[in-house]
């Protein structure tokens, strides 16, 4: 399951991140991008490749070609302008973590460990030896996420206890932090770390957790508890980034506020040409246009540029 903004919101979100980090967008010093994450940025490893995702707009903003997925060329590609290791449905933590600790079977096998292992194998081939690896990564932008959202999405969608994810937020955040430290140790000097989206405003959550209790909704008609949860994750992630910055003074570690950027479309939809920020542009005939994946059999509910979500089950 995943939902993400359509093209116009993507452009605005990326612009906001680059404006808040002007030197990142204007320096022209990145020769490539390496990215990790889930369906939010998968460009063809396990997701349909015929769509623009957030990392595509980062590449365009930085004057680079669109990122190729890593899997099709994992053993042969030279990736002169970078590669995308993100995989649809990927977790931050290993599926074994949830099976061992909570007797819960995650529906997808991919996790950040596997993406980083693949990345290291590619590095060993295209830039063998520590000096070459450090040189290559020193002139690259690394995008670490968004990752971790599916660790919560799969749990919540299975209708398991809401209280449990709060217990494993520290482990999810620690794994993201470990991933950032790994790429810095390899030679990365600039790492972008996105937070989670306001999942209480996402069609799948709004449809799946509908309630007649008005107190469960905020003033924007989003589910209050789930947005509060996303903010707890993001606050823990920001604290981890602060720790990483103190430990790595020579690296630039940037927090990308995807929550705040997405909420701008919810608070002021008409400023961005969006009619209703809480419904999907394609999917089924269910509430919030849910009930069917956004594929070639889905209903299209209008111009996608006028929506802030599409629906993937």
Q: Which of 134, 157, 125 lies closest to 311, judged by CA?
A: 157
Q: How confident is the model at residue 226 (pLDDT cuts 50, 70, 90)?
A: very high
Rounded average pLDDT over 272-283? 77
**pLDDT tens column, 97-132:** 999 999 999 999 999 999 999 999 999 999 999 999
pTM: 0.90
**pLDDT tens column, 231-248:** 999 999 999 999 999 999
pLDDT score, position 209: 95
Q: How far apart are CA 55 and CA 96, in angstroms?
A: 29
> What mean pLDDT is reported for the chain?
87
For residue 1, pLDDT over 80 is answered with no
pLDDT score, position 265: 87
**Count of C-beta atoms within a 10 Å radius of residue 25:** 17
pLDDT score, position 279: 80
**pLDDT tens column, 39-78:** 888 888 987 666 678 888 888 888 899 999 999 999 999 9
Q: Which residues pair with 35 in a beta bridge?
A: 84, 143
Q: How far apart are CA 121 and CA 79, in angstroms?
A: 13
Rounded average pLDDT over 297-304? 60
Q: How buried is residue 104: exposed, middle or buried, by Cβ count under 10 Å (0-12/13-18/19+)?
A: middle
CA 300 remoteness from chain centre: 24
What is the DSSP code (8-state) at residue 288?
G
Q: How confident is the model at residue 283 (pLDDT cuts 50, 70, 90)?
A: low
Rounded average pLDDT over 180-200? 96
CA 161 remoteness from chain centre: 24
CA atoms lying within 13 Å on the CB side of residue 245: 12
pLDDT score, position 188: 98
For residue 161, pLDDT over 50 is answered with yes
pLDDT score, position 5: 41
Q: How far apart are CA 36 and CA 82, in angstroms?
A: 12
DSSP line for 125-179: HHS-SHHHHHHHHHTEEEEE-S-SHHHHHHHHHTT--THHHHHHHHHHHHHHHHH
**pLDDT tens column, 10-40:** 555 555 555 445 555 555 689 999 999 998 8
298 to each of 67, 191, 301, how far by Cα in Å? Answer: 27, 37, 9
Higher-pLDDT residue of 207 and 22 is 207
Higher-pLDDT residue of 63 and 165 is 165
pLDDT score, position 270: 85
Contact indicator for 115, 86 with CB cutoff of 8 Å = yes
What is the DSSP code (8-state) at residue 191?
E
Q: How buried is residue 289: exposed, middle or buried, by Cβ count under 10 Å (0-12/13-18/19+)?
A: buried
Sequence length of the chain is 313
Higher-pLDDT residue of 15 and 267 is 267
Sign of the dihedral through C-alpha 133, 134, 137, 143: positive
Radius of gyration of the chain (CA): 19
């Amino acid at each position: 399951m995943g939902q993400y903004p359509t093209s116009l919101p993507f452009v605005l979100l990326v612009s906001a991140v680059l404006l808040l980090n002007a030197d990142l967008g204007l320096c022209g010093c990145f020769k490539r991008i390496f990215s990790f994450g889930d369906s939010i940025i998968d460009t063809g490893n396990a997701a349909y490749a015929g769509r623009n995702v957030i990392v595509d707009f980062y590449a365009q903003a930085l004057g680079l070609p669109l990122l190729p997925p890593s899997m099709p060329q994992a053993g042969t590609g030279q990736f002169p302008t970078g590669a995308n290791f993100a995989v649809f449905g990927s977790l931050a933590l290993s599926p074994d973590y949830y099976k061992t600790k909570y007797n819960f079977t995650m529906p997808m096998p991919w996790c950040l460990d596997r993406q980083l292992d693949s990345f290291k194998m590619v590095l060993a081939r295209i830039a063998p030896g520590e000096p070459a690896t450090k040189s290559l990564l020193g002139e690259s932008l690394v995008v670490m996420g968004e990752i971790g959202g599916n660790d919560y999405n799969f749990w919540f969608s299975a209708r398991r206890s809401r209280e449990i994810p709060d217990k494993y937020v520290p482990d999810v955040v620690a794994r993201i932090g470990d991933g950032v430290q790994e790429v810095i140790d390899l030679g990365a000097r600039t790492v972008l770390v996105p937070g989670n989206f306001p999942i209480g405003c996402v069609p799948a959550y709004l449809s799946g957790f509908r309630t007649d209790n008005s107190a469960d909704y905020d003033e924007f008609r989003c589910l209050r508890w789930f947005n509060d949860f996303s903010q707890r994750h993001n606050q823990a992630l920001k604290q981890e980034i602060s720790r990483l910055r103190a430990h790595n003074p020579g690296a630039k570690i940037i927090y990308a506020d995807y929550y705040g950027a997405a909420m701008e479309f919810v608070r002021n939809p008409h400023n961005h040409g969006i009619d209703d920020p809480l419904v999907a542009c394609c999917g089924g005939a269910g509430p919030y246009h849910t009930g069917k994946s956004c594929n070639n059999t889905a209903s299209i509910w209008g111009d996608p540029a006028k929506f802030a979500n599409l629906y993937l089950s």
